[in-house]
Amino acid sequence: MAGNPNYIQMKTSDFITLLAEHQDKSLLFEYAPGMLVGTNYHITEVKHINIDSVDCGSGMDSWKETIIQLWESPSELGKLDYLSTYKALGILKKVGIMRPYEMDSMIKIEYGNNMFHTAQLHITDFEIKENQLLIKLAVSPTDCKAKETCGVPQETEAASASCAPGSGCC
């Protein structure tokens, strides 16, 4: 999320490069602390999104995102091995031939299961652990983009309370 130091903004090019640098590893996703997407996951869709928005302070913005959707196959419960970065990279390259990427676009991972609501998750970090590439994900909170226009103090507890419904801001 822009301006939030707790989230990195990994670009599509950075993600593809990361996979290319670690093709010999298994690809794991941590969607919440200590919670991993199951070994039975598949990449089921890659979305190229164009966003054109207007915020509550009448500010206009536009940007592009690449969203990789993960799905756990019920028929593969108990599968022992994770998808390899090599195979994931092959899928992403094939998609890139069919629909070219905006390599500067931010990348998100879309995922949900029976215990976790479906969400578009930001990549917050990654770790190399022996034969694994672990991608750490997190839900980013919503935020008022028009804080200055609305007179909302920056980076304080009062900021979220000041932009409450009926406050004249958002």
Name the least confident of 6-10, 16-20, 150-154. Answer: 6-10
Summary mean pLDDT of the chain: 88
Domain that holds residue 46: 12-139
Are 57 and 73 found together in one domain?
A: yes
Residue 162 confidence (pLDDT): 53
Same domain, 96 and 150: no
Res 28 pLDDT > 70: yes
Is residue 2 assigned to a domain?
no
Residue 5 domain flag: no
Using DSSP bridges, classify how beta strands 26-32 and 132-138 pair: parallel, antiparallel or unpaired.
Answer: parallel
Does residue 7 fall inside a structural domain? no
| 87 and 29, same domain (yes or no) | yes
pLDDT in tens, 89-138: 999 999 999 999 999 999 999 999 999 999 999 999 999 999 999 999 99
Q: Are residues 91 and 169 in the same domain?
A: no
Q: What is the mean pLDDT of residues 10-16?
A: 96
For the chain, the domain total comes to 2
Q: In this structure, is residue 3 part of a structural domain?
A: no
Tell me, yes or no, whether 6 lies in a domain: no
Number of Cβ atoms within 10 Å of the Cβ of 169: 17
* pLDDT at residue 157 in the model: 53
The reply to whether 101 and 73 lie within a common domain is yes
Q: DSSP 3-state helix, strand, coil percentages of the chain (rounded to 5)?
A: 20, 40, 40
Indicate if 25 and 63 belong to the same structural domain. yes
Structure confidence at residue 140 as a pLDDT band (50, 70, 90):
confident
Domain check: are 133 and 161 in the same one?
A: no
Identify whether 167 is part of a domain: yes
Q: Has residue 4 been placed in a domain?
A: no
- Whether residues 70 and 121 share a domain: the answer is yes
* pTM, to two decimals: 0.84
Burial (CB count within 10 angstroms: exposed 0-12, middle 13-18, buried 19+), residue 103: middle
